[in-house]
Amino acid sequence: MSALTTIGLPVALGIIMFGLGLSLTVGDFARVLKQPKAVIVALLCQLLILPLVCFGLVLAFQLPPILAVGMMMLAASPGGTTANLYSHLFRGDVALNISLTAVNSVIAVFTLPLITNLAILYFNPFDDQLGLQWAKTLEVFAIVLLPVALGMIVRRFWPRFAKAMDKPVRIASVIILVVVIAGAVAQNWDLLLENFGRLSLITIVFCLISLTVGYFAPRLFRVGKRQSVASSFEIGIHNATLAIVIAQTVLGSVELSLPAAVYGVLMFFIAFGFGFLIRDRSAADDEAPADRLDDTAAPAASA
């Protein structure tokens, strides 16, 4: 595995998560208490329904064990910060997206290793590896939360600097991520090409189900339309970069990262099309006051 992957990917993810931290305050975590129904429904979809749906799809598509575990790791990954941008474009509640990303990123430190280990135990893709043990779980903690915490500290004590750095950090994260992923794709082109066909259909189906569940499940519980749009993108747009980093640098398997790599490309196009399907339905700002969140927060767009 090249230095481009082992060093570049964690650095890119660190910049992305640091950028997320620059956009967060403690109030973003506390805000969930103002809209508990929307948050609880979205988190239940993200943490329970999606892994079960993904497990069923993996069995139905009869994926090889290593790709099956990769899909389950993807399903366990939290929402990506790009969901904020999509929510903004299609009139979702961006404040809810920010809060969900913040809370889900913390929860994922525990749920992602748990679901990954259960998948490894069930599918048994490795002969000499037991999965994410305690030391590797600490690596996940460091990869996910430390850059976010650092970004929040910078925003708390140096708000002007944080505001000035927001755009440069987002641009830098995109550039570094594109360069690193392009290099990784070039190095593993044959492997990606060999598996793209079998992964493209299942990732498309999983993305469509994720977006659909994320929108209609809150609507079934009478959550406001704008919050449902936000939930849809939060659930459908996964932090594929996180899954790739854990697969390649923590578990040391390029093949394990392929589902996230394919999903990470296709989800942007699928989510964009889905946004147009639900946009007219969510255009009317007719939520009841109890279903509202303060959506004055700016979207934190990142890769």
Half-sphere exposure of 85 (CA within 13 A, CB side): 13
289 part of a folded domain: no
Amino acid 4: pLDDT: 59
**For 97-109, how does the pLDDT look when each residue is reduced to its tens digit (9 = 90+)?**
888 888 888 888 8
* Three-state secondary-structure class, residue 35: coil
% of the chain exceeding 90 in pLDDT: 29
Confidence (pTM) = 0.79
From first to last of its 303 residues, the chain has per-residue pLDDT tens of 455 556 666 777 788 778 878 877 777 777 777 778 999 999 999 999 999 999 999 999 999 999 999 999 999 998 877 888 888 888 888 888 888 888 888 888 888 888 998 999 899 887 655 556 656 667 677 777 788 888 889 988 888 888 888 788 878 777 776 776 676 667 667 777 778 888 999 999 999 999 999 999 999 999 989 999 999 999 999 888 888 888 887 787 888 989 998 998 889 899 999 999 987 543 444 444 444 444 444 444 344
**For 156-166, how does the pLDDT look when each residue is reduced to its tens digit (9 = 90+)?**
888 888 888 87
Which alpha helices (H) appear in the chain, and where do they start and end?
A: 3, 9-22, 26-30, 36-44, 50-61, 65-76, 82-89, 94-123, 134-157, 159-187, 189-220, 225-236, 240-245, 258-282
Amino acid 285: pLDDT: 45
296 part of a folded domain: no
Considering its fold, how many domains does the chain have in total? Answer: 1
Amino acid 127: pLDDT: 61
299 part of a folded domain: no
154 part of a folded domain: yes
Closest CA to 230 of 53, 6, 9, 31: 31
302 part of a folded domain: no
State the CATH number of the domain containing residue 247: 1.20.1530.20
Residue 188: domain span: 3-280
294 part of a folded domain: no
